[in-house]
């Protein structure tokens, strides 16, 4: 009788171990065969972050488990980029989805321009968290005024073909801009219009074409906005009256050929 009791208890214990204890091992084995984790992109994640996602089990018939197919791996990268020229592939590397990247390229193809960083944040496909991560890497080159052509100038906010021609004409007479605010000397360009593109421009003073007031013709000097016809005639008279050994800026001021203010503005343009 005692042996029979122990036999029954042993049989029941074996059934318990088989059904309860060993069963999770089967599920684990199935999960292992299907692939247990994948790397996915989480918008706004830290650069280079890989996020692991375990395979999900979906309830089916009793005693069966179904696992979702593994997703493809993606890795977030961060690098400097110009949203006006960045490729679709690079946008995806930066963490955008292919559809988001395509939306930005479509915006550009229709004439859209990113003039400052904040313009990128205005895209409806760019969330606040995504912009916060990418903002330090956005690099929109400023337009250099002394080398820009009309096609480049019209991309500035508030500058159309008419003002582009005006800017180029004034730049040619001036010899180049030495300060971005000089562009407001162009007729019709006031501070209100200037504020719309001032952050998008720069000047390279090495490109300035300088005057030789001791040898350049009177007509050439007269074209300069800071000299004019009257100033050019006074310089010509000074050159005719005084010996070349006395040709100096100090004597131009002493003889009132140029005013202090006039010379202060002009000195950067003199050889």
* CATH number of the CATH domain containing 187: 1.10.150.280
Q: pLDDT digits over 142-186, tens only?
A: 999 999 999 999 989 899 999 999 999 999 999 999 999 999 999
- The structure tokens listed for 83 are 């949203």
Has residue 22 been placed in a domain?
no
Q: How many other CB atoms sit within 10 Å of the CB of residue 174?
A: 20
Using CA atoms, how far apart are residues 28 and 107, in angstroms rounded to an integer? Answer: 48
Whole-number Å distance between alpha carbons of 231 and 64 = 97
* C-alpha torsion 24→30→33→38, nearest 10: -80
Q: Domain for residue 194, yes or no?
A: yes
Residue 69 lies in a domain: no
115 and 153 co-located in one domain? no
| Domain membership flag for residue 124 | yes
d(CA 94, CA 99): 13
Determine contact, residues 212/154, Cβ cutoff 8 Å: no
State the chain's maximal CA–CA distance in angstroms. 143
What is the three-class DSSP state of 139?
coil
Residues 9, 2: Cα–Cα separation, whole Å: 11
Q: What is the pLDDT of residues 119-136, one digit of tens each?
A: 999 999 999 999 999 999
Would you place residue 113 in the very low, low, confident or very high pLDDT band (cuts 50, 70, 90)? confident
Whether 44 is covered by a domain: the verdict is no
Residue 40 lies in a domain: no
Based on the structure, what is the number of domains in the chain?
Answer: 3
28: in domain: no
Q: Is residue 192 part of a domain?
A: yes
The residue segments making up the domain with residue 167 are 143-206
At 243-259, the pLDDT tens digits run 888 898 889 999 999 89
End position of a domain, from candidates 80, 115, 137: 137
Whether residue 199 sits in one domain with residue 147: yes
State pLDDT tens for residues 208-229.
999 999 999 999 999 999 999 9
Task: Lowest mean pLDDT of 14-23, 61-70, 198-207, name the range.
Answer: 61-70
């Amino acid at each position: 009788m005692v042996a029979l009791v122990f036999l029954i208890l042993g049989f029941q214990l074996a059934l318990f171990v088989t059904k309860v204890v060993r069963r999770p091992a089967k599920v684990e084995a199935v999960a292992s065969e299907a692939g247990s984790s994948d790397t996915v992109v989480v918008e706004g994640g830290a650069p280079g972050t890989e996020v692991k996602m375990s395979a999900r089990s979906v309830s089916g018939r009793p005693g069966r488990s179904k696992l979702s197919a593994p997703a493809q791996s993606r890795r977030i990268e961060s690098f400097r980029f110009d949203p006006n020229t960045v490729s679709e592939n690079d946008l995806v590397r930066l963490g955008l989805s292919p559809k988001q990247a395509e939306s930005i390229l479509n915006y550009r193809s229709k004439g859209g321009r990113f003039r400052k960083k904040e313009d990128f944040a205005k895209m409806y496909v760019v969330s606040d968290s995504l912009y916060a991560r990418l903002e330090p890497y956005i690099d929109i080159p400023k337009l250099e005024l002394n080398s820009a052509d009309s096609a480049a100038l019209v991309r500035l906010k508030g500058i159309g073909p008419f003002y582009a021609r005006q800017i180029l004409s004034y730049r040619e007479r001036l010899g180049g801009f030495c300060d971005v605010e000089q562009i407001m000397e162009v007729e019709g360009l006031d501070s209100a219009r200037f504020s719309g593109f001032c952050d998008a421009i720069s000047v390279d003073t090495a490109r300035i074409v300088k005057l030789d007031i001791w040898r350049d013709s009177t007509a050439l000097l007269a074209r300069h906005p800071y000299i004019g016809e009257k100033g050019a005639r006074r310089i010509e008279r000074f050159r005719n009256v005084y010996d070349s050994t006395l040709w100096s800026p100090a004597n131009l001021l002493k003889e009132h050929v140029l005013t202090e203010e006039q010379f202060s503005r002009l000195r950067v343009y003199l050889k």
